[in-house]
Amino acid sequence: MSAIKESIRILRIWFEGVLPFGCLSTYLTRFPDTNPDAYDQFGCLKFYNNFATYHNTELKKALESLQCEFPRVKIVYGDYYGGFRLIFRYASWLGFNPNTLVSACCGSGGRYNTAGGCGTPSTNVCPNPSQYVNWDGLYLIIIVFLTLLSTICFQNLDVTDLEIRVYCLVIEF
């Protein structure tokens, strides 16, 4: 925060929260749990999602404090966590396969297709990447990022900054 305060001559700034880590296939592969109650309705690990929620809550508190300190600066919080969960909730409607929400498109086997990394000799790429959320277990498919940004824009409809509103309109097309 000190580095931000020192360079706060800017008039607007966008901060992004973190994704629900427990929904990323890399986390699901590295930290499996034998207890079915450790997973939510989408197959995500609750513990890691709770950690992401905690982080985002603390970030928002810090941003509120920063906003009070610099009232002329427009601070926008990008709720990646909430947007990601909306994608999961409306996966079918958005064109994603609900059966592959926590699986990687590019990988080499295992429950979440992340047993071997994307780019290794035994790598397979799914035939229909647009139906997947995860690319390689850590990175998301580009359409997911666009959907996230679109969701964040709609959550920030009160934003009066013309550049942000134009950007939101552009990603809708």
Nearest to 17 by CA among 156, 165, 168: 156
The three-state secondary structure class of 98 is: helix
User: Distance (Å, rounded) from C-alpha 73 to C-alpha 125?
Assistant: 44
- Percent pLDDT > 90 in the chain is 29
pLDDT averaged over every residue in the chain: 81
* Least confident segment among 57-61, 128-132, 151-155, 166-170: 166-170
Could you tell me whether strands 124-125 and 74-78 are parallel, antiparallel, or unpaired per DSSP bridges? unpaired
Which residues lie closer than 8 Å to 111 by C-beta, 6 or more apart? 28, 29, 32, 103
Summarize pLDDT for 27-85 with one digit per residue, the tens: 999 999 999 999 999 999 999 999 999 999 999 999 989 888 888 888 888 888 988 88
Helix-, strand-, coil-residue percentages of the chain, each rounded to 5: 50, 10, 40
What per-residue string of b and e applies to 70-91 under the rule 16 or more CB within 10 Å gives b?
Answer: beeebebbbbbbbbbbbbbeeb
What are the extents of the domains in the chain? Answer: 9-172
